[in-house]
A = this chain, B = another copy of it.
Amino acid sequence: MRVAQMNWMQIEAQAKRDDRCVLPLGCVEQHAYLSLATDAILAEKVANDAAEPLGLPVFPVLAYGMTPSFAAYPGTVSLRMSTYVAVMEDILEAFYRSGFRRIVLVNGHGGNSPIMTLATEWLGRRSDASVRLHNWWAGPRFQAAVQAVDPAASHASWMENFPWTRLEGVVMPDASKPPFNAALYQAANPAKRREILGDGNFHGRYERSDNEMLSLWQVGVEETQAAMTENWP
């Protein structure tokens, strides 16, 4: 259930029935030829697709995340760590105040994953709560399925090219990007990182067939569903 399609009375009743809620974490950043909002779109959609059958409320995506690496690409918005930490603390606290005790962060952007540190700090203060950070694209089942299709898969490659992240009228290069020197890249400033990355695809082809993508998506949805239901402390 999208929280955007609920009112406060419904949330109040829901939190009494089930103390779980979901927050998708996205990012607005370069994704080569794909949507700048790719991570936000994917996180929100996979969260909603997974939560719908479970009847869990999914709050609106936090569209902005941490991505200092891509700061030299126009359209990229990066929140400072100190900012993101504050945002997350406020949101967790609000969920808690609303009656939720098990919170699933469905994260669509690698750069956001440090936020689990903040969530753990917060759990030290709210000791009857639990927080799960689910990096949906990095789950073992989804990654196995990706590898089975094509191991050359990465940020802004075919792996993120779904019908809902590709752009009308934008033609994908018919090529496979070779990998770059990761060690050098990781020590570089944002301008040099852009120089190294060029169009922004990290590695691999730019698109694959819809058949392949929709099967993959299904795996992602199911693994995300498992994250919402299994292994709660």
Are B83's CB and A190's CB within 8 A? no
Are A82's CB and B86's CB within 8 A? yes
Contact with B along A1-43 (1 / 0, CB 8 A): 0011111111110010000000000101011111111001100
Selecting from A46-54, A55-63, A145-153, A213-221, the interface stretch reads A55-63
Contact with B along A113-124 (1 / 0, CB 8 A): 110111011011
Tell yes or no: A69 within 8 A of B by CB: yes
Tell yes or no: A138 within 8 A of B by CB: no
**Contact of A36 with B6 at beta-carbon distance under 8 Å, contacts A71-B124, A86-B83 already known:** yes
Shortest beta-carbon distance, A85 to chain B, in Å?
Answer: 5
Are A87's CB and B81's CB within 8 A? no
Residues of B within 8 A of A75 (CB): 3, 6-8, 10-12, 98
Are A63's CB and B60's CB within 8 A? yes
- Residues of A in contact (CB 8 Å), total 96
Tell yes or no: A64 within 8 A of B by CB: yes
Are B200's CB and A4's CB within 8 A? no
Residues of B within 8 A of A170 (CB): 7
Q: Identify 5 new A-B residue pairs, CB closer than 8 A, beyond the known A7-B34, A7-B167, A86-B86.
A: A7-B31, A68-B124, A74-B97, A83-B90, A130-B189
A positions within 8 Å CB-CB of B: 3-12, 15, 26, 28, 30-37, 40-41, 59-64, 66, 68-69, 71-83, 85-87, 89-91, 94-95, 97-99, 102, 111, 113-114, 116-118, 120-121, 123-124, 126-127, 129-133, 167-168, 170, 181, 183-192, 196, 199-200, 227, 230-233
A–B Cβ pairs within 8 angstroms, 7 of them: A9-B199, A62-B64, A68-B120, A68-B124, A78-B121, A81-B117, A183-B230
